[in-house]
Amino acid sequence: MKATVMTYGCQMNEYDTHLVESQLVSLGADLVDSIEEADFVLINTCAVRGKPVDKVRSVLGDLRKQKAQRGLVVGMMGCLAQLEEGQQIARKFEVDVLLGPGSLLDIGKALESNERFWGLQFKDELHDHIPPAPQGKLQAHLTIMRGCDHHCTYCIVPTTRGPQVSRTPDSILRELDGLLAAGVREVTLLGQNVNAYGIDQGARVAGIPSFAELLRLVGQSGIERIKFTTSHPMNFTEDVALAMAETPAVCEFVHLPVQSGSNAVLRRMAREYTRERYLEHIAAIRRHLPDVVLATDIIVGFPGETEADFQQTLDLYDEVGYDSAYMFIYSARPGTPSYRHFADLPREVKTERLQRLIARQKEWSQRRNAAKVGTVQQVLLRGDAFEPGFLEGHSRGNHPVVVPKALGADRAGIYPVHIGHATPHMLYGAVLGADGQPLPELPRLTPEAAALSAPLAML
């Protein structure tokens, strides 16, 4: 069998795709890059917002035609597969295999079945299957938990991924050992709410450390760089910030979603914290990590949000001064309390507010990035950038960085980079040698090509 997996959604979906691909290979399948080459196409879906659901519908419509023409086998996995909405879509488009996030290891049973196979059971314990480390990559994701015990009114995750279940530290460290052996130098710990690691369904799990203690354990493994996502402010404790400060491998980057700056909106969202409590967390983080890079998530136009509520979000953005943000207009998702009980705002109101927030974010990102000009950042360069002759990567603070290829730094690796120019969304620099001087560059862009890429031409 020739198989391909199409992935939509978050980093946890990317991790799940790698897990399932490893299962497919162990079953004798050949992984291919295109639908046209494949006998089996598996779509890893997201259900957090409406747009990825619409995309899945479109793809499944095309695949149904190929099923009729050449006997293609089609599967759907991930969050959408767990929902009644997704199951209705699967019936409509004649999906053969349906796997929820808790049943990914049932892929073998599914392919052996001679009839439609739907695996939608949650497990009380996380499986201990450790996928092989990605080859030839310097960075990797490592899932430390599944599910979420919070019940934000807009969020479908507790329904799609079930209650929180934490992996044992032994299992996490064994997977990390494999990543280290494969040459991985940066790992991102993943969870719906990593700060609550070890507290499943409100109770401390025996034998499982706190998240702060886990950070220290992982920091002793030999991995050079550690990041984590995502954090819930309700569970963020000062000992996490202290562990970050005292563990050199942990990068000075915190993604702490606020969602809104209005207490009234936060209550309707059931976020379980106030604006004031959130700002206390920010102050604690900066006490221990003065140079921390802060990112957040914000939902604009949540039901009932007034102009005054939105202004409080803009004011909070200025008070914190985020380096970056993921910003979305509210997307009503069937099955959530906000969908059932709250009236949506007009789309034009949500869109106009989003544009104002984006403008504010660009101002702060430009200001924060401009402060990096003239500094030296340790940058993990992943490989070729969007222009020939350049490499792209990211700093410890998660800033996207682009550099010209240089003799002695023409491939993936971690390099010291002198930052020479900044835009709201990118840093541009040059790799330094042992003497602190820029390394000799390889052939640069032609003048014609450089003229088409003004930011790059400013290097």
Question: Is residue 148 annotated as involved in ligand binding?
Answer: yes
Contact (CB, 8 A) for 89 and 80 = yes
Distance between CA atoms of residues 187 and 134, nearest Å: 12
Token digits for 336?
């959530």
What are the residues whose beta carbons fall under 8 Å from the beta carbon of 222, sequence distance 6 or more? 180
Residue 284's SS3 state is: helix
Q: In terms of Cα–Cα distance, which of 367, 365, 430 is closest to 399? A: 365
Contact (CB, 8 A) for 68 and 103 = no
Q: In terms of Cα–Cα distance, which of 425, 428, 411, 423 is closest to 377? A: 428
Contact (CB, 8 A) for 455 and 426 = yes
How far is residue 152 from each of residues 50, 87, 157, 298, measured CA to CA in Å?
17, 23, 9, 14
How far is residue 102 from each of residues 122, 164, 207, 435, measured CA to CA in Å?
5, 11, 23, 52
Question: Is residue 251 annotated as involved in ligand binding?
Answer: no
Distance between CA atoms of residues 184 and 136, nearest Å: 8
Using the CB atoms, write b or e for 421-457: b if 16+ within 10 Å.
Answer: bbbbebbbbbbbeeeeebbebeebbeeeebeeeeebe
Parallel, antiparallel, or unpaired for β 293-300 and 324-329? parallel
Token digits for 15?
């991790």
- Report H helices in 38-135: 50-70, 79-82, 84-92, 107-112
Distance between CA atoms of residues 443 and 390, nearest Å: 10
Contact (CB, 8 A) for 141 and 187 = yes
Question: Is residue 46 annotated as involved in ligand binding?
Answer: yes
Distance between CA atoms of residues 394 and 396, nearest Å: 7
Q: Give the Cβ contact number of residue 164 at 10 Å.
A: 23
Contact (CB, 8 A) for 9 and 79 = yes
Distance between CA atoms of residues 59 and 123, nearest Å: 29
Residue numbers in the known binding site are 10, 46, 79, 148, 152, 155
Known binding positions for [4Fe-4S] cluster: 10, 46, 79, 148, 152, 155
